[in-house]
Copies of this chain bind each other. A is one copy, B any other.
Amino acid sequence: MKSRIPALIATLAALTLGHAPLAARAQTVVVNHAITESEVLSAQKAWCQALLDIGAAHASGGQPAARALAEKVIDAAYGYQMGVVLFKPTLTVNPQTFRTTRDGALSYFVGGDATYPKDSGFALKGWTACEPVNAAVFIAGDSATTMGKVRFTGKDGKVTAVDKTWQFVKDDAGRLRIVVHHSSLEYVAAN
């Protein structure tokens, strides 16, 4: 509930002479669950920061530390507990392209799961920066979708841009959760 407090603005209604007995006590409670652009941008930044944090945990505490943090991040930022998540990570291959379960997402980020032998851990690649550059933000009211680039900077300073779509919904506690995530390398035209 705490997270809803900022959205709850109690305003004293205008006192209007002649309506005294009622209006003098009138108070309108306004609760607004609509997703704001600012919340969306914060959620994107938090995703980027979490990716870097998992990498840092790996550098200092190895795979177990990275995995433990990744579990927290997934549980806080994705909507697996609300059902499936429609997740197409950047680098997955058939027949495990889509990671609709929490386990599949965890393996993608930190690897080390024999069920997903091709996963080496996207968060463990030594990224030094992560920056979302939105082409469009569409707020439907109860959900918000972004489409654009996310730019990952590697240890060598090289930037990899991916095309990324995220859809967020607000959970009962007022927190944005990713329910759709489609990421893909940029298309390169053959010459």
Contact = CB atoms under 8 A, between A and B. Distances in A.
A141 B140 contact: yes
A184 B171 contact: no
A54 to B, nearest CB: 21
Interface string A27-46: 11111111111000000000
B34 A83 contact: no
B33 A137 contact: no
A139 B97 contact: no
B35 A133 contact: no
Given A137-B31, A139-B34, A187-B185, A167 B147 contact: no
Contact of A8 (B30, B35, B83): B83
